[in-house]
Amino acid sequence: MSRLGRNDWLVIGGALLLFVALFMPWFRSEVVEDLMDQMAKQLGGDVGNTDTGISGWHYTLGWLAWLLTAAAAAIVLLKMVDVELPLPEGLSVMVFGGAAFLLVLIRILDAPTFLNRSYGILIGLLGAALVAFGGFLKDAETG
């Protein structure tokens, strides 16, 4: 792993961060949580965990963004086995990371009105941004 530079690790770390963020809640429904709490009070008991978080895996844009960041990380890792790509490495990684960033940003801006954004989608956006920024730095060091 000595052939990987700091920018390579930034890309790999960003892809891993987005992957972990897909398991976190991206949106929450307070309406459903309130209804479950009211039902519990009326029944005189506890319904247990009323977590209504919706993870990134429920959204096509979420896992497509992860596929793009995984492809960017794969491009970086191919350097270790001396595979030459027809396109510049930094530019390819930056384009994949930028596209992933836009997909997550679209999901944030196009949120349904009855759902509240949660911390997972922001962590996913940060992961995609790290991949794009790592690609930008890689492109700047070669160009």
pLDDT score for 126 = 97
pLDDT score for 2 = 56
8: number of Cβ within 10 Å: 22
**What is the value of pTM for the model shown?**
0.84
The fold adopted by the segment(s) 6-142 is Butyryl-CoA Dehydrogenase, subunit A; domain 3 (1.20.140)
Q: Label residue 55 exposed, middle or buried (CB < 10 Å: 0-12, 13-18, 19+).
A: middle
Is 70 exceeded by the pLDDT of residue 47? no
What is the rounded CA–CA span in Å between residue 26 and residue 8? 27
Please work out, in degrees rounded to the nearest 5, the angle formed at the alpha carbon of residue 74 by the alpha carbons of 70 and 76: 120
Cβ-contact 96, 69 below 8 angstroms: yes
Residue 1's pLDDT band, with cuts at 50, 70 and 90, is very low
What is the rounded CA–CA span in Å between residue 143 and residue 141? 6
Is 80 exceeded by the pLDDT of residue 26? yes
pLDDT score for 115 = 81
